[in-house]
Each structure stands twice: as C-alpha cells, then as structure tokens.
Amino acid sequence: MLLHTGGNLIAGFFMFWGLFSLGVLLVMLIVLKMRGRYKTRQLPVYILFSLLLGALSFGLSIWVFMYGG
C-alpha cells in the first residue's frame, strides 16, 4: 500500500513537472513578446526544450503508473 501511494505521488510529481514546463514556455514567450526581444529563430529552441521536458515527464509518470503502482 505504501509503495502504491509513493508511486502515485511520484507520477503526480512528473505530471505536474510536465504541465509546469509547458507553463514556463508560455510565460517565456509572453515576456519576450512584451519586451520586444522576440526572435523567431530562438522560438524552436524554446518549444523543443519545453516539449522535451513535458514529454519526458509525462512518459515517466505513465511508466510509474503502469509499473510502479
């Protein structure tokens, strides 16, 4: 039971981290656009970095839900 609860907590943390990384991307884009430092050639770097973090986190959370819990 304790392991099951711990697995769910870990999976919840990774899901939160995935959403957090997407939120950071949106905030970064809004701030850059407002300050006028919005460079289109840097945009794919931000998107790829954030999506990589999000996908890794969601993948880990699904793996923990399937096998850890």
Each of the 69 residues of the chain gets a pLDDT tens digit; together they read 445 666 677 777 777 777 777 777 778 777 777 777 666 666 677 777 777 777 777 777 777 767 665
Which candidate, 53, 58, 51, places its Cα nearest to that of 12?
58
Cα separation, 53 vs 35, in Å, equals: 25
Neighbours of 12 (CB within 10 A): 13
pLDDT of residue 6: 65
What's the structural domain count of the chain?
Answer: 1
pTM, two decimal places = 0.42
Q: List the domain range (segments joined by +) for residue 47.
A: 2-68
DSSP conformation class of 44:
H
Residue type, 20: F
